[in-house]
Amino acid sequence: MKRRPLIAGNWKMHLTVAEAKSLANDIAAGDIPSDRDVMLAPPFTALAAVGETLKNTPVLLAAQNNCWEEKGAFTGEISPVMLKDAGCVMAIAGHSERRHIFGETDILINKRVAGALKFGLTSILCIGETLEQREAGNTFIVLEKQMRQGLSGIDGFAEEQLVIAYEPVWAIGTGKTASETQAQEVHRFLRNLLVDLYEKNIADNIRILYGGSVKPDNVDILMTQEDVDGALVGGAALQAESFIRIINFNA
Ligand code: PGA
């Protein structure tokens, strides 16, 4: 069974509310094939407004991060219940910028994944090695640790509710993309890890996205790979034309 592709746009810390609404509107008005999922993750301030814009369109709304608690004294955090209230159905956890700029650990990220799933959001767990780790030959060791710790105690979810995003840190925002062979090699490794953590029939249904300088001119070849089930797109998701082209990948 082939997994349903997911093309996800991460807008990071870009766009005012008015700009976000306008871009969401342009993307939703584009050609979106019915055999794939499309998702946008605006900054928190624009979530509710973009949620309104995307109502009655096939485009899904996501948060760039989530807390694990429903409410309480957690200054600077947003609860999964609030995210759902704004229209979100998904949330990203453990993006490399959270790990490397803000010091988020595997233990913290694991709580975010658990919290998203507990309250009914799909969780996109991001993992990825740095250039230094790759050059030292530690790619698989690093990824295995991030996967095992990020998914520790995570069980009993519906398969479509957990998504893994492989984003090599050296490819994010740098214009350098992993080759399709490099991506497939890692994705296959991650799929086998999922088989080890869960059952094969579950692992076979969990989507593994590739992220890191995905653009209109490299998405097609990346998407031909057996275990590449979609893309997490940063820079190229900030313009309707390039993102719509990525959504319309030909594999
Ligand atoms: P990029 O970002 O496409 O700009 O490399 C990807 C990401 O950070 O998710």
CATH code: domain of residue 243: 3.20.20.70
Residue 94 beta carbon below 6 angstroms from any ligand 1 atom: no
Determine, yes or no, domain membership for 1: no
Determine, yes or no, domain membership for 37: yes
Ligand 1 pocket, mutate which of 6, 10, 102, 127 (most atoms under 8 A from CB): 10
Q: Are residues 86 and 61 in contact, defined by beta-carbon separation less than 8 angstroms?
A: yes
Give the β-pairing of 230-233 and 162-166.
unpaired
Q: What is the whole-number distance in angstroms between the Cα of residue 234 and the centre of ligand 1? A: 4
HSE value, Cβ hemisphere, 13 Å, CA-based, for 242: 15
pTM equals 0.97
Give SS3 for 69: coil
Range of the domain at 236: 6-247
**CA torsion angle for 146, 151, 153, 159 (degrees, to 10)?**
-170
| Structural domains in the chain (count) | 1
95 counts as catalytic: yes
Residue 173 beta carbon below 6 angstroms from any ligand 1 atom: yes
Q: Taking the mean position of all CA atoms in its chain, how far away is CA 202?
A: 19
Atom of ligand 1 minimally distant from the CA of 172: 5
Residue 218 beta carbon below 6 angstroms from any ligand 1 atom: no
Tell me which of 97, 104, 167, 187 is the catalytic residue.
167
Indicate the angle between helix axes 180-197 and 139-150, nearest 10 degrees.
40
Main-chain dihedrals φ then ψ at residue 123, nearest 5 degrees:
-105, 130
Q: What is the whole-number distance in angstroms between the Cα of residue 237 and the centre of ligand 1? A: 9
In the chain, which stretches have pLDDT less than 50?
none
| Model pLDDT, residue 1 | 54
Determine, yes or no, domain membership for 158: yes
Q: What is the whole-number distance in angstroms between the Cα of residue 174 and the centre of ligand 1? A: 9
| Model pLDDT, residue 175 | 86
| Model pLDDT, residue 251 | 85
Structure tokens that stand for 85 in this block: 């209230």
Tell me which of 95, 97, 104, 187 is the catalytic residue.
95
Q: Are residues 117 and 123 in contact, defined by beta-carbon separation less than 8 angstroms?
A: yes
Q: What is the whole-number distance in angstroms between the Cα of residue 143 and the centre of ligand 1? A: 18
